[in-house]
Amino acid sequence: MFFTRTHTYHFPVPKDDLKNRLIGRHVKIHDLDFEIMDRDEKLTIIPHAEQISDIKTLPITSVEMNEAGGKTKVKVTSRMRALDSGGPILIVIFCAFMLVASMVMYFIGEPLVCYTLLGISAGIFTIFWIRLETGYFDYVRKVHAFVKEKANPSLAEAGMPVARA
């Protein structure tokens, strides 16, 4: 779905060294703790959401590493937790339904209803996407930046903003 983000990086660090830099670490993003664990030949970065009472959409990130010639190809994939995916999917379905209804109203000959439904659909989807960008996708960006920082410590020296462990 479009809530999944995948990035591929190439680092000049051996796989075992990179794995040792990441395993067992914790990263704190917006006062929420993420832990890195080794599962089935790939690393998993999961949030500890037990202590929060707010409704948050959080990612679970998997880090796959393949070594070739002293360099490591890292594929970082962030997916929405299954627990959190119900609400966003319902909002997308609702907006799609309103969009289809506005098209039907346009062809029936009701332009006022058509434009009203189209505006409501666009407004709801815009607010929804802005909330995702400031919440869920912000977590995704910061987790990816954390992996990049641990693989290439010179990024922190260059002034690139990253999440801190």
Please give the average pLDDT of every successive group of 10 residues along the chain, which has 165 residues.
87 85 82 84 84 78 87 91 89 96 93 94 96 91 89 60 51
Cα–Cα distance for residue pair 104/57, rounded to 1 Å: 33
Residues 6+ apart with CB under 8 A from 99: 117, 118, 121
Element spanning 33, H or E:
strand 32-39
Cα–Cα distance for residue pair 84/54, rounded to 1 Å: 12
Res 123: pLDDT: 97
